[in-house]
Every structure is written in structure tokens, then in C-alpha cells.
Amino acid sequence: MKIKSIYVPLEDLTLVKATDSVQEVLNRFEETGIFSLPVVQENELKGTIYKEKLYRILVEQEDKEAYLAKTIDASLIVKNQRSTTLEAPVERAAKEFVDNQLTFIPVEKEDGTFAGIVTHKAIFEYLVDLFGITDDKIVVYIENMSGQLAKVLEVFKKLNVNIKKIVAEDAKVLNLYRLIIEPDKDLDKVRRELKNAGIRIEE
């Protein structure tokens, strides 16, 4: 799946404009409950503003009312060091979140203009769907050797049951692979036939 399938487009975002006052930005944080917001100027992403940083600087001001009335400046905006594109695979964005502790990742169009963002929530929802975290799944273990996957698929062929989704991952033990399979029907029957074929099933 590609980023364009899960990102939040620019027109649906809660944004901070580069011309907003500190008070307006604080109001937006309080209204939304969000902890970081993209800052834009004429639809160009300037960076990210963080609620915690804004409050920390506000506390240090002697004249808080005057500061609240000021337009936000560059000292409040953190440049985004990572970005992705509409055509990039979702897995690449997921790795960026893990490696860099990001709150969101800006998404760019082909011409480099700001298209929107991809969020933690979107990534998690994608992974939940990908790994079939539902009751309608079968988890089997196969050895990492030729013919083992074919043995599993032969059971489905024999029962005339289609596979809606299959994900394989290294089980990290005993040279085994873990398969998460979602049949389109006859879940219990498939389980029984897999066991009868000598295939290990996760209970």
C-alpha cells in the first residue's frame, strides 16, 4: 500500500498559519487536543510547532499579554527533517516513525509541494489491517525450507477456500516462519484440515 491511501490531505488538516498570533495557536491546541501542528505559509510547509515548547517559552515572558498578541516567529517553528511522498510505500513511513520518534511525517506531491501528513494512527490502523488482527484468522508455523508453503496452500486448494489475506514473518525461533492467514470461509474446517496435514496451528 502507498502513502496516498492513508495520508491526511492538506484541506483536512488543522494548521497554523505563519501569520497567526501566539494566542491563536494556543487556542487551536486547546480546541483540538493535538500536541503538534504543521505551520504553513501559502500552502508551503514551514515546519512544526509544539504545544509544550510554546507554553515553556510563554512562561518565561515577563509581559505575557504582549507575547500572546505577537505573531509566531521562527524560534517556535521546528524544521521537519523527514518527509515522504504520495507514492512511497507505507512500510517506509512506519520505519521513519520507529527510527526518528516523529509525531507526523509531511507528505509531498511529485512537484515537492506540501500535500498533507501521515500520522501514527494511520500507520497503526494499516498494520492492524495488514496483520489480520481479527478473530477470522489462522496462524500457522512452517519451517524455512522448500515446499512448506505449498503444503499449506494445498489444503486451501483441496477445500476450495480462497485466501483473503496472508502475511509471513520470521518467528525468530527454530528457523520457523509464522503465517497469518485469513480464509474467505470455512474457518473451522480449514483449521482441522491443516492439523490433519501435520501443520502446526497457533491456538
What's the rounded Cα separation, in Å, for the pair 112 and 106?
A: 11
Over residues 97-141, the pLDDT tens digits come to 888 888 899 999 988 899 999 998 898 888 777 766 566 889 999
What number of helices (H) and strands (E) belong to the chain?
7, 12
The C-alpha atoms of residue 141 and residue 183 are separated, in whole angstroms, by 16
Q: Which CATH architecture has domain 138-201?
A: 2-Layer Sandwich (3.30)
Residue 86 pLDDT: 94
CATH top-level class for 3-129? alpha beta
Question: Taking the domains of the chain in order of start, what are their residue ranges?
Answer: 3-129, 138-201
* Three-state secondary structure call for residue 9: strand
What does DSSP say about strands 36-41 and 16-17: parallel, antiparallel, or unpaired? parallel
pLDDT tens profile 33-69: 989 999 999 888 999 999 999 999 999 999 999 999 9
| pTM exceeds cut of 0.85 | no
User: Of 84, 89, 78, which Cα lies nearest the Cα of 35?
Assistant: 78
Taking the C-alpha atoms of residue 7 and residue 86, their distance in angstroms, rounded to an integer, is: 8
